[in-house]
Amino acid sequence: MTPTATSNGAARGPDDGRPRILIPEKVSPDGLAMLEPHFDVDVKLGLTPDELISRITGYHGLIVRSETKVTEEVLAAGKKLRVVARAGVGVDNINVPAATSRGIIVVNSPSGNILAAAEHTIALLLATARNIGRADGSLKQGGWERSKLVGIEVGRKVLGIVGLGKVGLNVARMAKGLGMQVKAVDPYANPDMARQAGVDLASSLEDILPVVDFLTIHTPLLATTLDLVGEDEFRSMKRTARVLNVARGGVYNEAALLRALDEGWIAGAGIDVFTSEPPTADSAASQIAKHPKVVATPHLGASTVEAQENVSIDVCTQVLEILRGGLPTSAVNAPIILPEEYRKLQPFVQLVEKMGRLYMQHFVRSKGGLVGGRTFELVYHGDLAGMPNTKPLYAALVKGLVASFSETHVNIVNATLIAKEKGIRISETHSHQPGEQTYANLVTLRAHAEDGSGQQTIEGYASGKRLYISKLDRFSATFSPEGTMIILHNYDEPGKIGGVGMVLGSHGINIRFMQVASLDPELKEAEADAVKGNEALMILGIDRPVDEKVMEGLRKSEGVLDVVLVQL
Ligand SMILES: NC(=O)c1ccc[n+]([C@@H]2O[C@H](COP(=O)([O-])OP(=O)(O)OC[C@H]3O[C@@H](n4cnc5c(N)ncnc54)[C@H](O)[C@@H]3O)[C@@H](O)[C@H]2O)c1
Ligand SMILES: O=C(O)[C@H](O)COP(=O)(O)O
């Protein structure tokens, strides 16, 4: 085969035994210099998707930024690929599940560019306030427009931040330095950090929209944050307000943003990211980019010399480590369990992650707030209590809890750090109480309310590879935490099952299984007098997700106290 040129100018053949790394985007040389003594590093800019597919065979590592689409086809063609590194945060351009199924580790740099992204947000904030883009454009065209381009001051104005994570918190600190008042919405923000940064935490987006002069979103793009701000939200803002997006295209609905600008519901926008990049001709994204009330940049949030050095060193260190057989520090998809512990703990890792997800979906959503707080206790019984290393179970709980509100990828390496960042406290108890032999391999998850008002409990166990939930709050049950489920809290009276079956049947929804969980026998006696009849939980496994109409129908069924849709 023809030798390929390496980034340090040397020419080597691909078969000389050294691992090979392909870099199809501009990545800072600082990290690459660490790789070059050990591997063949090929920088090949401007590859088409087909060229990438045909070239990737024979490479052990691939390092990309946001432009390269690492599709299933690319991964399938990369027969020798062991690692895909994202020199940045977002991995939305990488098919992570396909990488996982092929055992390819995906790593990123979660913090290397956050300062750059925060500073870019502030740059857009000031540019929208002072019409910098239009003024610069007009002057370059020979104009001298002063009276048309009078701006506003940002000092003493209100900045609303949605998503007070790494970037959001830095934006908040910088905005305070500009003399702004900062209000933030983030159900999982760390209140201590918010207080220290001088940020008022609000309970909902609706609360802040009418009062903010600027709004900036710093959440990941998830199902729950797609179109977070649409027509209704824009209409509820001040007509003088301006919005900023240095997160991901899609957190503001682009069609709604265009209307809001055209019809004067808001005064302007500073936009760095779009749903398609570069925006396709005539799309809402391209009209926004060209709009006179918009200052637009081509996804430059992370494009500083310093940020590019940071992310390059971050990911190249990990590529080096992985290709030498070590563990990465920021793996997006690495197994959260080490091989030697895998066999014994694997079913429990899945169980505990599902218990975390069930907790977030059942208790948190059903009560409309974070009633259970962030203090958790994991109790291991039976054989599990004797396991010396339960770190994978701890990591699995953090993963299950944060999955519903963050795209942060939790693994055994970063779980403690992420729990700390999110203000989640987890204690682990190895229960060796006598007489527990019958509870071999049982796990109890307890959530303690912050105000001391009580606790919620989920219990589960694994039998071989099968997982079961045996207790949900005050109710005893036996069901597999699998797929889509509806959990109804109801009075345990005759006729309930028929009523619920009718509602689901009328919408053509098949029931896969049904379980009635009754009040824990010990509680039953104590509570029997206090409640109107007995309460029960009805757990229905269904064949597909249902819409709000079905949920509303179930809520209206007689004797139903609460209904929650759970996806596990
Ligand atoms: N434009 C760029 O070049 C650039 C550079 C860096 C990061 N980013 C993007 O910025 C975003 C934020 O990055 P980060 O590092 O701060 O992430 P992060 O995970 O540290 O913070 C995200 C925060 O959003 C919160 N959140 C999630 N859902 C929410 C909701 N519905 N309402 C309110 N808050 C919610 C989470 O609790 C978390 O605190 C990511 O999408 C990232 O890809 C863009
Ligand atoms: O997710 C990120 O890290 C940013 O969006 C930056 O993307 P980039 O590396 O393509 O600049």
Token pair 């707030």 in the structure block, residue: 369
Sheet with 20-23, strands from edge to edge, namely 40-43, 20-23, 61-64, 83-86, 105-107
Task: Kindly give the number of the ligand 2 atom that is closest to the alpha carbon of 109.
Answer: 3
CATH 3.40.50.720 maps onto the chain at 20-111+307-323, 114-296
Q: Which of 66, 120, 315 to mutate to test the pocket of ligand 2 (most atoms within 8 A of CB)?
A: 66
Question: pLDDT-based confidence at 89, cuts 50/70/90?
Answer: very high
User: In the numeric block, which tokens belong to residue 486?
Assistant: 């509806």
C-alpha 412/C-alpha 333 separation (Å) is 11
C-alpha 498/C-alpha 546 separation (Å) is 19
Using CA positions, which residue lies closest to atom 40 of ligand 1?
220
Q: 506 C-alpha vs ligand 2 centroid, how far in Å?
A: 47
The one catalytic residue in 134, 299, 362, 446 is 299
Q: What is the pLDDT of residue 406?
A: 79
pLDDT at residue 438 is higher than 90: no
> Which region among 128-137, 260-269, 406-415, 463-472 has the lowest average model confidence (pLDDT)?
406-415
Token pair 């302007």 in the structure block, residue: 268
State the pTM of this model. Answer: 0.76
Task: Dump pLDDT digits (tens) for 38-60.
Answer: 999 999 999 999 999 999 999 99
Residues with CB under 6 A from ligand 1: 89-90, 113-114, 117, 162-168, 185-186, 188-189, 218-221, 224-225, 246-248, 272-273, 299, 301-302, 405-406, 408
Question: pLDDT-based confidence at 526, cuts 50/70/90?
Answer: low
Token pair 């977070």 in the structure block, residue: 228
User: In the numeric block, which tokens belong to residue 470?
Assistant: 């045996």
pLDDT at residue 528 is higher than 80: no
Q: 524 C-alpha vs ligand 2 centroid, how far in Å?
A: 55
Residue 48 CA, distance from chain mean position? 30
Q: What is the pLDDT of residue 264?
A: 98
CATH 3.30.1330.90 maps onto the chain at 339-567
Percent over 70 (pLDDT), the chain: 89
Answer yes or no: 448 catalytic: no
CATH number of the 339-567 domain? 3.30.1330.90
User: In the numeric block, which tokens belong to residue 115?
Assistant: 């300062």
Task: Dump pLDDT digits (tens) for 311-324.
Answer: 999 999 999 989 98
Three-state DSSP state, 258: helix
Q: Which of 64, 68, 89, 314 to mutate to test the pocket of ligand 2 (most atoms within 8 A of CB)?
A: 89
Task: Kindly give the number of the ligand 1 atom that is closest to the alpha carbon of 185.
Answer: 33
What average pLDDT does the segment 474-481 reach?
Answer: 91
The one catalytic residue in 65, 248, 381, 409 is 248
Q: 255 C-alpha vs ligand 2 centroid, how far in Å?
A: 24
Q: 162 C-alpha vs ligand 2 centroid, how far in Å?
A: 19
Q: 20-111+307-323: which CATH topology?
A: Rossmann fold (3.40.50)
Task: Indicate whether this complex's ipTM tops 0.85.
Answer: yes
Ligand that comes closest to the CA of residue 87: 2
pLDDT at residue 2 is higher than 50: no
Q: What is the pLDDT of residue 405?
A: 79
Q: 248 C-alpha vs ligand 1 centroid, how far in Å?
A: 9
Q: What is the pLDDT of residue 7?
A: 39
CB 130 within 8 A of CB 242: no
Cis check for the bond before 210: say yes or no (omega within 30 of 0): no
Between 449 and 528, where is the model more confident? 449
CB 50 within 8 A of CB 68: no
Task: Kindly give the number of the ligand 1 atom that is closest to the alpha carbon of 221.
Answer: 41
Task: Kindly give the number of the ligand 1 atom that is closest to the alpha carbon of 113.
Answer: 6
The one catalytic residue in 25, 277, 341, 407 is 277
Answer yes or no: 277 catalytic: yes
Q: 57 C-alpha vs ligand 2 centroid, how far in Å?
A: 26
CB 31 within 8 A of CB 312: yes
What average pLDDT does the segment 351-367 reach?
Answer: 84
Question: pLDDT-based confidence at 270, cuts 50/70/90?
Answer: very high
Between 543 and 232, where is the model more confident? 232
Which of 345, 315, 382, 324 lies closest to 84 in space, CA to CA?
315
Between 533 and 172, where is the model more confident? 172
Task: Kindly give the number of the ligand 2 atom that is closest to the alpha carbon of 300.
Answer: 11
The overall average pLDDT reported for the chain is 88
Q: 363 C-alpha vs ligand 2 centroid, how far in Å?
A: 35
Please say whether the structural domain 114-296 has been given the CATH code 3.40.50.720. yes
Task: Dump pLDDT digits (tens) for 283-305.
Answer: 999 999 999 999 999 999 999 99
Task: Kindly give the number of the ligand 1 atom that is closest to the alpha carbon of 228.
Answer: 31
Residues with CB under 6 A from ligand 2: 65-66, 87-90, 113, 299, 301-303
Q: What is the pLDDT of residue 415?
A: 83
Which of 534, 540, 537, 529 lies closest to 566 in space, CA to CA?
540
